[in-house]
Amino acid sequence: MRSPWFLFAVVNIYLQDAVAFKVHRLDKTGQCQERIMHFKDYVVQQGEPTVLKCPILHYNHLNFNTASNLSLHLKWYKNDSKNEITGVDSRIQAQEDLLWFFPARLDDFGYYACVLRNSSFCIEVTISLTVVKNNDVALQDIAYRQDVFTLTSDHIVCPDLTDFITNVRDLDLRWYKESVLLPQLSKKFEYVVGTNKLNINDVSPADGGFYTCELGFTHQGKRYHITRVIQLHTIEQEKRNHPVIVYPNHKSIEAALGSKLIIPCKVFTGFGRNSGTVVWWLANNTFVDRNSLPDGRVTEGEFQKMTENDRNYIVVQLIFLEIREEDFQTDFKCIARNEYGSQVLPAQLRKTVPVFSWYTVVVPAALICLIVGVMCLYKFRKSRAQKDYIQAKS
């Protein structure tokens, strides 16, 4: 279990690169006035251990003093419930910025909120979780995209395993391509022992497709298998210096009215250079940072460089300070361009219908139907009794 100083340290680490928001105070009901909808939808397989990471520390850019940071508390909730998720020995466990499922079940689907607060500060981020059946899963829904260049020797990485690994030396992975187990050493593929990498020699277009890596994991004496699906895209050598947008990914992005939302445009730039790549956003074919939304409600973030899975990327965020109805009809696009070529990808918003909103509609409607049904049944029986009485009397 991490100490309270963990939150203090991480908050200050992210102060340099995060997005600026004003201090979020509580409303009269004790709820956070400012809420953020996380852009990423988590889709996981049932029966596997799963962990949600609270992205809240990536969003704030606030000047805390040491005393206020020491009093910060991070809590987890589901479906806007007021019941905090805490259990240490239960199947779902909250451990500061992590929410564990041992394992995930189909009924775990829904929205999970991590809330960071003290007496004067409150910020809440909502994360969508979908749990799918193992035998009824669309691979593209759970796949991580990775890119390699043809006519080279390259590698792919089994992602998001950090929280499941206690000793890298004991890391034991199995790799599959299109459900076929790959040998540990062959002319084409090679396991990199003690790492989460799979080498691919002399990459060709035929090497593209879906790969699965499988890790054994033990928790409280029970053995689990953790799988990650990678959708490998091969890029021809002549396009080696072209920008490749990997996110947005043609899927619509959930957004809740009145909430904040940040959509990153993530561009793959290869290994070691970005070839003068520039990235920007358009809203209805107009520059976001100029004339499209002059009230400053939607802005473009700073140009950022990052490395992930040994790949280099450029990230430019589209920042909504408040989602409004017109955003669902606006044509947002990310554009990446350099001297070798360009790419354009849309980012379509879809309105979130939270699971907890069912109760506010379905339950009252069901009660009304029940009351009407009881009244009708009562009137029917009363009418039938009167009719029988009249017939008996006559």
The number of folded domains in the chain is: 4
Backbone angles phi, psi at 59, to 5 degrees: -95, -35
- 248 exposure class (CB count in 10 Å sphere: 0-12, 13-18, 19+): buried
Do residues 234 and 253 both lie within one domain? no
Question: Of 222, 239, 256, at which residue does a domain stop?
Answer: 239
Residue of higher predicted confidence among 23 and 183: 183
- The residue that leads in pLDDT, 136 or 386, is 136
Instruction: State residue 252's pLDDT score.
Output: 87
Query: Could you tell me if 258 and 342 lie in one domain?
Result: yes
Residues 49 and 77 in one domain: yes
Among 238, 116, 97, 250, CA closest to 162 = 97
| Range name among 11-15, 195-199, 231-235, 243-247 with the lowest pLDDT average | 11-15
Q: Centre a 10 Å sphere on the Cβ of residue 243 and count the other Cβ atoms it contains.
A: 24
Mean pLDDT over 110-118 rounds to 90
> Which residues span the domain enclosing 200?
139-239
Average pLDDT (281-304) is: 82
**255 with 349: CB under 8 angstroms?**
yes
For the segment 252-262, the average pLDDT, to the nearest whole number, is 89
Q: What are the CA-CA distances from residue 132 to residues 145, 180, 386 (Å)?
A: 19, 22, 55
Is the confidence at residue 374, as pLDDT, over 60? no
pLDDT value of residue 384: 56
- Claim to verify: residue 235 and residue 249 sit in the same structural domain: no
CATH code, domain carrying 277: 2.60.40.10
For residue 4, the model assigns a pLDDT of 37
- Higher pLDDT among residues 1 and 57, named by residue: 57
Domain end marker among 97, 115, 132: 132
197 lies in the same domain as 316:
no
Instruction: Tell whether 205 and 111 lie within a shared domain.
Output: no
**Does the pLDDT value for residue 274 go beyond 60?**
no
Residue 323 tokens read as 């989602």
Q: Which residues contact 334 (CB under 8 A, 6 or more apart)?
A: 245, 248, 265, 279, 280, 281, 316, 318, 344, 345, 346, 347
Phi, psi of 114 (to 5 degrees): -105, 130
What would the pLDDT profile of 181-215 be if each residue is shown by its tens digit?
Answer: 999 989 999 999 889 999 999 999 999 999 999 99
Q: Name the token pair of 3.
A: 């100490």
Amino acid 378: pLDDT:
52
Range with top average pLDDT, 177-181, 249-253, 275-279, 290-294: 177-181
Secondary structure percentages of the chain, helix, strand, coil, to 5:
20, 40, 35
| Arithmetic mean of pLDDT, 218-246 | 90
